[in-house]
Amino acid sequence: MPNYSSTVLAVVLLLAATASTWAQTPPTPRDPSAAANVRQSEQYEQELRGNPSFRAQRMKQECGPINDPQLHQQCIDSFGGGAPSSGRRQR
């Protein structure tokens, strides 16, 4: 019966060397449009948090056409809470 231990050892060493080479390869450059999208999303979120009139306008634009009360409330909640101009509180 042949001795496979040296073959197994060679395969393990080859895999270990290949894995270390893969680990050292630099990551693929990110898509520039993806980075721009992230920046735009961050700017939008910052505008929503920092500008109450912009937030109210977006809530009206996005949630206003929704007729179902439960879906309308979910839309309002997606902005981080109740409508700023509603004056009523949900318990």
What pLDDT is stored for residue 33 in this prediction? 87
Is 11 inside any structural domain? Answer: no
Q: What is the pLDDT of residue 80?
A: 80
Q: Say if 63 falls within a structural domain.
A: yes
Is the Cβ–Cβ distance between 46 and 53 less than 8 Å? no
Tally of domains in the chain? 1
The domain containing residue 73 runs over which residues? Answer: 37-80
pLDDT digits 0-9 by tens, 27-56: 655 777 888 888 899 999 899 888 999 999
pLDDT-based confidence at residue 91 (cuts at 50, 70, 90): very low
Q: What are residue 32's phi and psi, to 5 degrees?
A: -60, -35
Residue 86 has pLDDT above 50, yes or no: no
In a domain, 86, yes or no: no
Is residue 13 domain-resident?
no
Residue 81 has pLDDT above 70, yes or no: no
In a domain, 28, yes or no: no
pLDDT higher than threshold 50 for residue 19 = yes
